[in-house]
Amino acid sequence: MALRITLLDGKLHDRSGFSCGIAALDDYLHQRAGQHQRDGIATTHVLTDDAQPARILGFCALSAAQLHLSELQQGDLKRLPAYPVPAMRMGRLAVSASEQGKGYGQLLLGHAVNLALSVRQTMGVRVLIVDAKDAQAAAFYERYGFRPTTSKALSLYLPISAA
């Protein structure tokens, strides 16, 4: 088993065979992910196994974003300019219902953090933002250091540090 994370390829990856058990996430992958990728709105990164490269085990969708200073916790405001902070947004993260509990969500989250670190070196990204669907999802992100924004309990951010 060799896992791989690549950009969604509509000609290779079987989107219709994916189900995580949450209709909104399944619908996004089935109906909108390809179009958003073509239109430059978001990129969808899929987790696959080399033994079955068409089968999507999980995915995350990433896009450019910004976060207003008023959303950051007080301790994260040091040395920031007086305008919104450049960010990367992970709009969706899902793992196939048959593959949950294997650490694939953590793997996809790590991929998003690594991409944010890479983008920080070439363009500038200060935080990775997520909008958790519920308190359980928020707790998942908080285990990895995400902090709630000041205005919405289910919107969280992770400071991206070059060090």
Give me the residue spans of the domains in the chain: 3-159
pLDDT for the residue 75? 82
Q: Flag the least confident range among 11-15, 21-25, 28-32, 75-79.
A: 75-79
Q: Is the pLDDT of residue 49 over 70?
A: yes
Average pLDDT value for residue range 97-119:
95
Q: Is the pLDDT of residue 80 over 90?
A: no
Average pLDDT value for residue range 93-118:
96
pTM: 0.91
pLDDT for the residue 70? 83
pLDDT for the residue 111? 97
User: How does DSSP assign the chain, residue by residue?
Assistant: --EEEEE--TTTSBSTT---S-HHHHHIIIIIHHHHHHTTS-EEEEEEETTBTTB--EEEEEEEEEE-GGGS-GGG-TT--SSPEEEEEEEEEEE-GGGTTSSHHHHHHHHHHHHHHHHHHHT---EEEEE-SSHHHHHHHHTTT-EE-SS-TTEEEEE----
Average pLDDT value for residue range 105-125:
93
Q: Is the pLDDT of residue 72 over 90?
A: no
Q: Is the pLDDT of residue 163 over 70?
A: no
Q: Are 57 and 48 in contact (CB under 8 A)?
A: yes
Q: Is the pLDDT of residue 147 over 90?
A: yes
Q: Is the pLDDT of residue 42 over 70?
A: yes
Q: Which residues contact 60 (CB under 8 A, 6 or more apart)?
A: 44, 45, 90, 92, 93, 94, 108, 109, 111, 112
Q: Percentage of the chain surpassing pLDDT 70?
A: 99
Q: Give the confidence band of 78 by pLDDT, cuts at 50, 70, 90.
A: confident
Q: Give the confidence band of 161 by pLDDT, cuts at 50, 70, 90.
A: confident
pLDDT for the residue 162? 60
Kindly report the CATH class assigned to 3-159: alpha beta
Q: How far apart are CA 100 and CA 25, in angstroms?
A: 14
